[in-house]
Amino acid sequence: MDSTCKINAAMSIWRRLSLFVLASSLCLCLCRAEDSAMENIVTEKKAEESHRQDSADLLVFILLLTLTILTIWLFKHRRCRFLHETGLAMIYGLLVGVVLRYAIHVPSDMNNVTLSCNVNASPATLLVNVSGKFYEYTLKGEISGSEINDIQDNEMLRKVTFDPEVFFNILLPPIIFHAGYSLKRRHFFRNLGSILAYAFVGTVVSCFIIGLFMYGCVLLMKQIGHLGGDFFFTDCLFFGAIVSATDPVTVLAIFNELQVDADLYALLFGESVLNDAVALVLSSSIVAYQPEGDNTHTFEAMAMLKSFGVFLGVFSGSFALGVATGVVTALISFTFTKLRELPLLETALFFLMSWSTFLLAEACGFTGVVAVLFCGMTQAHYTFNNLSPESQDRTKQLFELLNFLAENFIFSYMGLTLFTFHNHVFNPIFIVGAFLAVFLGRAANIYPLSFLNKITSNFQHMMMFAGLRGAMTFALSIRDTATYARQMMFSTTLLVVFFTVWICGGGTTPMLSCQKIRVGVDSDQENFQSCLMMDFLCVRLQIGPDGVEMRSTKQESAWLFRIWYNFDHNYLKPILTHSGPPLTATLPACCGPLARCLTSPQAYENEGQLKDSDSDLILNDGDISLAYGDITVSTDATGAHTSGTPVGGVAVNSDEALDRELAFSDHELVIRGTRLVLPMDDSEHPLPLDSHRHKNETMS
């Protein structure tokens, strides 16, 4: 009986113990479930707060752009030219940056925990084990020890700091493409030699002069103990490359508004377009400089040659890729002619093919800036002719709008970054040296090459003054700010951009007056009346060694471009577009079936019409005749003038006929069967032949 009672008591205790363990387990599970639910609620709350913060940050930039646009309208209405829209955007960005940095404080989060962990490097991804659960954290950047207690403020400022890849993949492509797509090819190719000299030779010279000068400043800083980290000669060359990229958007906008001389505009615009591409490839080549051995910053001939090979390979590959993508787009628009009936799809395809050029070049290891630039030129030359009239207007307006918004966004962000970027390094010696170096580099770029290309002195001084730094310089400097040297470069670059945009951009109008450069010039009328009438009609007089005037044609001095123009006009344009002469008229008779297969029906309809936008650049022998009344003055293959006989039967000397022709108010130019009437202002007195010749030589 006692044993039975003991067994029952033991069983009762065991049941109670089991119930207690079960209840404890249930409570623990409920607590864990509750904790998990609370954690999910906290996570969702943080995600919602982060979403609201991101929306507020984007709203700040939208308001900045809106305020900039309204102020631009006010300035244009009041005709204020002392400050351009980009300068306004920078000022508004500065004001917002000051408010975000000093006026807004975010309360500290009590859940933030600071733990110490000794590691040799900062991992990009960190896995943290919290009570058996693994959480992934990503690296956001380095902060100084004094800012550990201001994590929330740092997070807010970091929210308005964009990833540098956003600039390269989103904002830069429309800016660069618009530069190539809107290029005025007539003036660009007329000054092609000078533009190429400034863009290639001048940029390299400027890079090395700035790099050498800054290296001297770095050595001085090291001697007096003002250098807080490593700064090598390759870093100085890299700085020289990025600040050699000019962006005279402010000056060009004023030039366009005032209608400044078209050749000066073409020189500045063409230099800045190609100069950005060269500076980007040059900076990449300097980064690729890797000598063998432990010291990677010593000079080595093979490493230098390798970097030079990288420069040529990347530039040529990017150029070929951009042209190829433009040609493919032209072939697609040429083949699928039914797309013209749906302008929306046609515009969308054009936009996507153009943007994909940049991404394709970057994915292949080339430079997207170079590729998208030459893609824009190719699209303007070929694809544009295949688009419907509605799509032509849409593509122009679309990329003009994207260029405007992206450019002003970047300049607003520049002002904002001056106060929101955490790792600024401002060194007075380096800053002063940078301003001097930029001035010397620009002078070494402009004046020697201008002397060789026979650019007038007032154009030289204006180009020297207009060497502003802008979006490309900023984008290259912000792309890598991991080291002490790159942080100092970025901080100094911001100041250089601010100074050039505000001071040089604001002083453009007074500088034009000081240099007595013509304004209010209609580029099209000027080109037809002086350049086309004088340059292309063989009225360039040269004095021979025997003192006899010798006449030569523009086509003789531009023979290389003339060969390309003839090939393009006779073969490429008919294949890639619906304009140009039919291939049946340009290919040999044996290629008749192939020519009929490749020629579109529209080409036969357009035969005999002057549809080529480059036809005023190079004209073939015997293609030009100048008619006044019953007198015809034309050119032959030697550049001599021949004149017809008037109705009265009296012969007229060719020189006299030409002088009479230039002295009258109405001119008719007959080119390939197309008659163009060129009116001249009757109020202007006709210039003598020598004056025309002097004016023409000055422009060319």
Q: What is the largest CA-CA distance in the chain?
A: 158
Q: Is 542 helix (H, G, I), strand (E, B) or coil?
A: strand
Look at the block and give the residue holding tokens 């020598």: 690
**HSE of 423 in the Cβ direction (CA atoms, 13 Å)?**
19
Closest CA to 540 of 553, 529, 549, 530: 553
Within 13 Å and on the Cβ side, how many CA atoms surround 131?
Answer: 3
Encode pLDDT of 341-391 as tens digits. 889 999 999 999 999 999 999 999 898 989 999 999 999 988 998 899 999
For residues 623 and 613, what is the distance between their CA atoms, to the nearest angstrom? 16
pLDDT in tens, 445-487: 999 999 988 889 999 999 999 888 888 899 889 888 888 999 9
Could you give the CA distance from residue 358 to residue 326 in angstroms, rounded to a whole number?
A: 12
Predicted confidence at residue 299, as pLDDT, reads: 66
Q: Is the dihedral of CA 237, 424, 147, 107 positive or negative?
A: negative
Separation of alpha carbons 339 and 57, rounded Å? 40
* Domains delineated in the chain: 164-292+299-521 (1.20.1530.20)
**pLDDT digit string (tens) for 437-446?**
999 999 999 9
Query: 304-327, pLDDT tens digit by residue?
Result: 888 888 888 999 999 999 999 999
Choice between 295 and 550, residue whose per-residue pLDDT is larger: 295
Average the pLDDT over each of 4-8, 73-77, 656-660 and give the range with the smallest value.
656-660
What is the pLDDT confidence band of residue 606, given thresholds at 50, 70 and 90? low
**Which residues face 130 on adjacent strands?**
133
* CA-based nearest residue to 204, from 246, 244, 247, 248: 244
Give mean pLDDT, residues 23-30.
Answer: 64
Predicted pLDDT at 204: 93
Task: Give the pLDDT band of residue 666 (cuts 50, 70, 90).
Answer: very low
Q: Which residue has the tokens 């790792």?
A: 423
Beta bridge partners of 627: 632, 668
Predicted confidence at residue 6, as pLDDT, reads: 62
CA distance linking residue 145 with residue 506, whole number of Å? 41
Spatial CA neighbour of 248 closest among 545, 409, 468, 432: 468
Mean pLDDT score, 594-620: 57
Q: How far apart are CA 637 and CA 552, in angstroms?
A: 10
pLDDT number for residue 524 = 54
Mean pLDDT, the chain, as a whole number? Answer: 75
| pLDDT at residue 509, as a whole number | 84
pLDDT digits (tens, 9 = 90+) for 83-123: 777 888 889 989 988 888 887 765 555 455 666 677 666 67
Q: Which of 373-387, 498-512, 683-697 has the lowest mean pLDDT?
A: 683-697
Strands (E), 439-573: 540-543, 549-552
Indicate if the pLDDT at residue 406 is higher than 70: yes
| Residue 140: per-residue pLDDT | 64
Name the residue with tokens 């022709």.
661
Strand partners, 401: none
Higher-confidence residue of 325 and 692: namely: 325
- Of the pLDDT bands very low, low, confident and very high (cuts 50, 70, 90), residue 126 is confident
Residue 428 predicted with pLDDT over 90? yes
Q: How far apart are CA 2 and CA 22, in angstroms?
A: 30
Contact at 8 Å (CB) between 421 and 490?
A: yes
Taking residue 8's Cβ as centre, other Cβ atoms within 10 Å add up to 10
Query: What Cα–Cα distance (Å) separates residue 298 from each residue in 214, 228, 293, 676?
Result: 17, 21, 9, 64
Instruction: Work out the pLDDT band at 77, boundaries 50, 70, 90.
Output: confident
Q: List the alpha helices (DSSP H) in 225-261.
A: 233-242, 249-258
Mean pLDDT lowest among 245-254, 277-286, 403-412, 618-627: 618-627
Decide which of 629 and 465 is more confident: 465
Rounded-to-integer distance, Cα 443 and Cα 638, Å: 41
Amino acid at position 639, single letter: G
**Helix axes of 343-363 and 301-335: crossing angle, nearest 10 degrees:** 160
Nearest to 210 by CA among 433, 429, 489: 433
Length of the chain: 700
Classify residue 678 by burial, with Cβ atoms within 10 Å: 0-12, 13-18, 19+: middle
Strand partners, 125: 138
Number of other CB atoms surrounding residue 134 within 10 Å = 8
